[in-house]
Amino acid sequence: MAIFELKEAREAPADTKGPIHWAKEKLFSSIGNTILTLLGFYLVYMTLPPLLDWMIFDATWSGTKAEITKDGARWIFIIEKFDQFMYGFYPESEHWRLLSVLGLFPISIVLFKYVLTNSKAKLALLIAFPVVSFILISGGFFGLMHVETHNWGGLMLTIVVASVGIIASFPIGIMLALGRQSKMPLIRTLCIGFIEFIRGVPLITLLFMASVVLPMFFHEGIEFDKLLRALIGITLFQSAYIAEVIRGGLQAIPRGQYEAADALGLTYWQAMFLIILPQALKISIPNIVGSFISLFKDTTLILIIGLFDILAMVTLTNSDTQWLGFEVEGYVFVTIIYWAICFSMSQYSKSIERRFNTENK
């Protein structure tokens, strides 16, 4: 017989932790690895300082165009044209309306998440926010001046197109995904046909079709808003992709879940909305957000049917004879904005995933 004493925990040996050990293990573990590490440092050394010089240290941040002396980025161009990048040709006196929508957004989120507890009130907010936003942006009601869509532009247009595309395509995508799995041959065939057609065609083509073909279905003389046409094209495009992403999620749900829902006596729609979709959507979040991020970037294509989003603003602002040759600053600025928004979206998706994971374990 043997009895063993309880041992106290000790600290790990000094040479198996700390930054030096980390560097040894991760950066210089072998000759090949060391060469790659050094090469990497060299590349950073060659590119980063000049980039920082251009963007920050040698950049011109204030003053007028005539006063530019440094050879870095001339950010005064962006500052000068900032309103156009943000709002396009939206009348300056009405910019407050766009800013109110921007302000209402976080307020609504706080209301939705922390203040409202009643699900009916939440639903009302969910409907009210887009309606109020539309009234504010488009005007024509309550004494607000009507701003025609061809005056919309810049980042504001990008966000309008992307959010409408995202919000409208989501429910359509869900219906298409369910339809594709339907036992009714007609519905299934229609959904498969639609999805495969849309996925087999580039977005540009869809936009052209929406802009040229759609009006043919309406009586001549009826003005059919150009932006609306683009929105329809983008929504159809996006919903086909969302449908496929959600289908992937649906297929990952074990058959037992469908059977248990059936055996309990739930109807098809109850089973889908209470049991299957919550699980399928959760699995699909990373891909859904990924698809939304691509859509956000794809919105730039609307410029080919004559809508001026933020990217188109670079070209447009550079055609001002006062400000020729400022493309580089423009593109870098737009790049930073796109990156910031897309990166936030992907971070947000990561945080949702984490939250769901902890809830279920």
Partner 1 sequence: MSEVEYMIKMQGVNKWYGDFHVLKDVNLNIKKGEKLVICGPSGSGKSTTIRCMNHLEHFQEGNIHINGTDLIDDVKIVRHIRSQIGMVFQHFNLFPHLSILENLILAPTWVYKKPRKEAIATAMHYLERVQIADQAHKYPNQLSGGQQQRVAIARCLCKNPEIMLFDEPTSALDPEMVSEVLDVMVGLADEGITMVCVTHEMGFAKKVADRVIFMDGGQIVEENEPHEFFDNPQSPRLKHFLEQILDH
Report the interface residues with partner 1, using CB under 8 A.
254, 256-257, 259-267, 270, 274-275, 278-279, 282, 359-361
Q: Is the Cβ of residue 281 or residue 332 nearer to partner 1 in the bound state?
A: 281
Distance CA 319, CA 25 (A): 54
Q: Least distance to partner 1 from the beta carbon of 170, Å?
A: 19
Q: Is the Cβ of residue 270 or residue 347 nearer to partner 1 in the bound state?
A: 270
Q: Is the Cβ of residue 27 or residue 253 nearer to partner 1 in the bound state?
A: 253
Q: Least distance to partner 1 from the beta carbon of 120, Å?
A: 15
Distinct helix (H) and strand (E) counts, the chain: 14, 0
Calculate ∠ Cα 294-83-163, nearest 5°. 30
Count of Cβ atoms closer than 10 Å to residue 326 Cβ: 22
Question: 173 burial class (0-12, 13-18, 19+ CB within 10 angstroms)?
Answer: buried
Q: Least distance to partner 1 from the beta carbon of 15, Å?
A: 40
Q: Least distance to partner 1 from the beta carbon of 268, Å?
A: 8
Q: Least distance to partner 1 from the beta carbon of 352, Å?
A: 14
Q: Least distance to partner 1 from the beta carbon of 357, Å?
A: 11
Q: How far is CA 156 from the centre of its chain?
A: 14
Distance CA 336, CA 351 (A): 22
Q: Are 168 and 133 in contact (CB under 8 A)?
A: no
Q: Is the Cβ of residue 219 or residue 361 nearer to partner 1 in the bound state?
A: 361
Count of Cβ atoms closer than 10 Å to residue 78 Cβ: 18
Rg (CA), the chain: 27
Q: Is the Cβ of residue 130 or residue 278 nearer to partner 1 in the bound state?
A: 278
Position 33, amino acid: N
DSSP state letters, 196-210: HHHHTS-HHHHHHHH
Residue at token pair 């809508």: 307
- As a 3-state breakdown, the chain gives helix, strand, coil percent values, each rounded to 5, of 75, 0, 20
Position 274, amino acid: L
Q: Is the Cβ of residue 147 or residue 275 nearer to partner 1 in the bound state?
A: 275
Q: Residue 236: which of 295, 287, 290, 186 has the closest Cα?
A: 295
Q: Least distance to partner 1 from the beta carbon of 84, Å?
A: 47
Q: Residue 78: which of 102, 62, 67, 58 has the closest Cα?
A: 62
- 354 is written with which tokens? 């984490």
Position 66, amino acid: A
Distance CA 248, CA 353 (A): 17
Q: Is the Cβ of residue 212 or residue 260 nearer to partner 1 in the bound state?
A: 260
Q: Residue 85: which of 336, 322, 308, 344 has the closest Cα?
A: 308
Q: Is the Cβ of residue 2 or residue 186 nearer to partner 1 in the bound state?
A: 186
Q: Least distance to partner 1 from the beta carbon of 258, Å?
A: 9
Q: Least distance to partner 1 from the beta carbon of 239, Å?
A: 24
Q: Is the Cβ of residue 110 or residue 264 nearer to partner 1 in the bound state?
A: 264
